[in-house]
């Protein structure tokens, strides 16, 4: 028995496991880096393991060479991981593009249990429906259930001219959960989103299904991510329930915004992590700024991620977005931060 396995057996408590899951579709900006830092701290403060998973299912948007660049920049910042595409691990592979068989198996389980059904509607048809009030921004209009009750004959007829996507049959009633940053939350998925897509018509699994399958397979217990994904949580909990999988604890950290309150962009001076590195910024100064934006250190403190582990708690994080002043980014490059 390994030391780690012996420790788990002695405490009768499963080892905590966190993760960060970047998409290699563009460089890491400071908001991404802050989320990575906070997810790493949440796992390490619990004495847990940490995994890095590359979410590269959106093949047309994946940029060649971006994955190794992201991994290199995270290491430059001072983060490490126990499992990942470059170091391997017991739950690999750690690229979603290499895990398609697992998503297909999960979809088949949902089909067999009657939790999903084929949908032949286009986005334009859904948007044009008079019954489709606007839902969360990531999904557009609420799906009105057009294909939910099609007969077998109607499905066969429509399948002759259009390949279907697959939608999860959302049950009635609210979904409640306790968020590690925002506290108790409740969402009525059927009322706000409707039946949601778990596999696209081209066969590519949707984010909601892939992330549930991966986090369960990798035994992730702590999911720390940006609060732009807070609306996805209830949907994912429904999938965990339908697949009889144990869900992790969720914590959604407020995003980093510009001084105008809008999401970070070039007009805010929001350089990528790589641009800061190439411009001469020191990694401990960058980490210090990220810690300051998270309420963990006072302004001007330089530190490494390992300096922040002791005493870290999600309860210390502010619930409001963190405003980044362009002058603070400039100071990083001038060596003044």
Q: Which residues are catalytic?
A: 266
Helix (H) or strand (E) segment spanning residue 102: helix 100-112
Give the dihedral sign, CA 32/33/36/38: negative
E strand or H helix that includes residue 177: strand 175-179
Helix or strand holding residue 157 (H, E)? helix 152-159
Q: Tokens at residue 135, please?
A: 């839902």
Which of 1, 42, 86, 18 has the alpha carbon at shortest distance from 296? 42
C-alpha 337/C-alpha 329 separation (Å) is 8
- Tell which residue, 242, 236, 137, has the closest CA to residue 187: 236
SS3 328: helix
The C-alpha torsion from 108 through 109 and 115 to 121, rounded to 10°, is -10
Report the C-alpha gap between 290 and 33 in whole angstroms: 8
Other Cβ atoms closer than 10 A to 115: 21
What is the crossing angle of helices 207-217 and 100-112, to 10°?
100
Map residue 305 onto helix, strand or coil. helix
Nearest CA to 190 among 178, 209, 174? 174
Specify whether the CB–CB gap between 246 and 300 falls below 8 A.
no
């Amino acid at each position: 028995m390994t030391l780690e396995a012996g420790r788990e057996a002695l405490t009768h408590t499963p080892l905590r496991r966190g993760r960060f899951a970047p998409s290699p579709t563009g460089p890491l900006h400071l908001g991404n880096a802050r989320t990575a830092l906070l997810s790493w701290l949440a796992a390490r403060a619990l004495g847990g393991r940490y995994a890095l998973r590359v979410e590269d299912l959106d093949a047309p948007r994946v940029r060649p060479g971006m994955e190794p660049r992201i991994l290199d920049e995270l290491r430059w910042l001072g983060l490490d991981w126990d499992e990942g595409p470059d170091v391997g691990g017991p739950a690999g592979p750690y690229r979603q593009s290499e895990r398609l068989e697992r998503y297909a198996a999960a979809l088949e389980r949902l089909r067999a249990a009657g939790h999903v059904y084929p949908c032949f509607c286009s986005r334009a048809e859904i948007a044009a429906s008079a019954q489709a009030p606007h839902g969360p921004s990531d999904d557009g209009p609420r799906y009105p259930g057009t294909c939910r009750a099609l007969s077998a004959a109607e499905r066969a007829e429509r399948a002759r001219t259009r390949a279907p996507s697959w939608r999860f049959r959302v049950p009635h009633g609210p979904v409640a959960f306790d968020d590690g940053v925002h506290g108790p939350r409740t969402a009525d998925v059927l009322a706000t989103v409707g039946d949601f897509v778990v596999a696209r018509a081209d066969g590519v699994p949707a984010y909601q299904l892939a992330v549930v399958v991966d986090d369960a397979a990798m035994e992730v217990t702590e999911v720390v991510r940006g609060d732009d994904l807070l609306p996805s949580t209830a949907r994912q909990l429904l999938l965990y329930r339908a697949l009889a999988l144990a869900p992790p604890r969720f914590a959604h950290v407020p995003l980093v915004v510009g001084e105008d309150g809008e999401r970070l962009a070039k007009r805010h001076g929001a350089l990528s992590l790589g641009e800061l590195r190439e411009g001469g910024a020191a990694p401990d100064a960058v980490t210090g700024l990220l810690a300051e934006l998270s309420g963990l250190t006072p302004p001007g403190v330089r530190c490494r991620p390992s300096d922040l582990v002791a005493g870290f708690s999600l309860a210390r994080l502010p619930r409001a977005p963190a405003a980044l002043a362009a002058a603070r980014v400039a100071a990083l490059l001038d060596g003044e931060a």
